[in-house]
Amino acid sequence: MPNLEVKIPPMGESITSGILAKWHVQDGDVVKKDQPLFELETDKITSESAAEAAGKITLKAAAGDEVKIGQVVAMIDPEVRDQKPEASSAAVAEPAEPQAKAPAAAESQIKTPAPAAKAAGSQISDLKSQVKTPATASQISNLKSQIKAAPPSAAPAEKSQILNLKSEINQPAGERQTRRKLSPLRQRIAERLVAAQHEAAMLTTFNEVDMSAIMAIRAKYQDDFVKKNGLKLGFMSFFVKAVVHALKEVPAVNAQLDGDTLVENHYYDIGVAVSTERGLMVPVIRDCASLGMAAIEKAIAEVAAKAREGKIALTDLEGGVFTITNGGIFGSLLSTPIINPPQSAILGMHTIQERPVAINGQVVIRPMMYVALSYDHRIVDGREAVTFLVKAKQSLEDPARLLLSV
């Protein structure tokens, strides 16, 4: 049976390459069918690739390499399906000849000094590229000269010294800076954020929401909600429904520019920003107008988990008409979120804080949240933006409006 090629899978029409971020297996491992092999990081998503068959894998690319779509990064030999304990049998010596084999091993080391010295020299060169301070570079230079002057049998000892030095250099206590190349995803995020600020006439309007009604509903029905649906009722589902209601009331916010053409959307696919180790992603919840609270909570939980585990697909990120981002989970009191092009607006949620407010002539303490709507002033007028935010505020402070569509 011929060896199976492991190729970089297609990720979408606009993605032609990526970074092989991590191997989950080592060269020579025997893998199982559907076992995760590697993580590929592109300018839009990070995804895993699994083995299509069982067998012994031979790696053709290293972690950190830039790879093209369709490139062969490994080969799987399906004829080898079981691990064989070769190392353990080689490590066991026969007790009858312990002294006879020791000189042979020593003789082998003396006869082949070049590979050891070459490996040590390579490690020094590699280490030099990581060192930034003259003092440490001097230490490496001294070690290199010592290895050249030392007899071949001393090379392994010097190699150990180099590894120890490398370990010491990599300790964070002695570093003033750490440099690493931006990942494709982080580069793409940076490009989009800068482009949004340069290309859109972005403006932000603010308001505040009394969260008392929503918090009372959650406290009253949380246990029943969990028993029926298997997950908690969060705040985000209320905001999604309030945004859908406001978009219906102010359709100008549910529009976008395509060149010199204004495109009005008549569907409600809402993006929910998710923070991951690799950067911010905005998976889209489809047809929110027809979903109930439980369905929205489940959809958010599913796409958020996929984003954080690196299993999200490109289709999960495309087609949103509006975005909600929640800086409140990190403690943000107020911010001006940046539009997610080509959308015309984004709603920023913030932390809930008890504050004194005036209600019916009385000062009372209420759980309040500042909300911010950033919008493209080329498409949305100030009156429409303020009206949208007021409609969302009304729905959040009186959730019954969502049931009655008023």
> Is 46 a domain residue?
yes
Mean pLDDT of 75-89: 64
**Active site includes 381?**
yes
Same domain, 210 and 359: yes
- CATH number for the domain harbouring residue 14: 2.40.50.100
Contacts of 401 by beta carbon, 8 Å cutoff, 6+ apart? 245, 394, 395
Same domain, 53 and 196: no
Q: What is the dihedral of CA 326, 329, 333, 337, to 10 degrees?
A: -30
Cα–Cα distance between 306 and 196 in angstroms, integer?
A: 26
> Is 145 a domain residue?
no
Q: How confident is the model at residue 40 (pLDDT cuts 50, 70, 90)?
A: confident
Q: Which of 77, 92, 113 is the last residue of a domain?
A: 77
Mean pLDDT of 367-391: 96
Mean pLDDT of 319-338: 94
Q: What is the pLDDT of residue 88?
A: 39
pLDDT above 90 covers what percent of the chain?
Answer: 46
List 258, 350, 381, 398, catalytic entry: 381
Same domain, 191 and 70: no
> Is 321 a domain residue?
yes
Residue type, 166: K
Res 104 pLDDT > 50: no
- The Cβ of residue 181 has, within 10 Å, a number of other Cβ atoms equal to 9
Mean pLDDT of 186-213: 89
Q: Hunting for tokens 């010097």 — which residue is that?
A: 158
pLDDT single digits (tens) 342-352: 999 999 999 99
pLDDT single digits (tens) 12-24: 656 778 888 889 9
> Is 253 a domain residue?
yes
Mean pLDDT of 281-303: 94
> Is 214 a domain residue?
yes
Mean pLDDT of 208-229: 96
Q: Read off the pTM.
A: 0.65
**Active site includes 377?**
yes
DSSP sequence for 246-290: HHHH-GGGGEEEETTEEEE--S--EEE-EEETTEEE--EE--GGG
Same domain, 71 and 214: no
Q: What is the pLDDT of residue 143?
A: 56
Angle, CA 54 vertex, CA 53 and CA 56 arms, to 5°: 120
> Is 296 a domain residue?
yes
Q: What is the pLDDT of residue 162?
A: 54
Q: How confident is the model at residue 300 (pLDDT cuts 50, 70, 90)?
A: very high
Q: What is the pLDDT of residue 387?
A: 97
Res 215 pLDDT > 70: yes
List 43, 65, 377, 398, catalytic entry: 377
| More reliable by pLDDT, 247 or 148 | 247
**Structural domains in the chain (count):** 2
Q: Which of 61, 77, 93 is the last residue of a domain?
A: 77
> Is 297 a domain residue?
yes
Same domain, 70 and 207: no
Q: What is the pLDDT of residue 66?
A: 84
61 lies in which domain range? 4-77
- CATH number for the domain harbouring residue 317: 3.30.559.10
Res 112 pLDDT > 50: no
| More reliable by pLDDT, 280 or 301 | 301
Same domain, 195 and 70: no
Least trusted range by pLDDT, from 96-110, 211-225, 259-273: 96-110
Q: How confident is the model at residue 48 (pLDDT cuts 50, 70, 90)?
A: confident
Pick the closest to residue 252 from 91, 393, 380, 101 (CA basis).
380
Same domain, 189 and 45: no
Residue type, 320: G
Res 211 pLDDT > 60: yes
Mean pLDDT of 379-389: 96
> Is 226 a domain residue?
yes
Cα–Cα distance between 144 and 157 in angstroms, integer?
A: 13
Name the phi and psi angles at 233, rounded to 5.
-85, 115
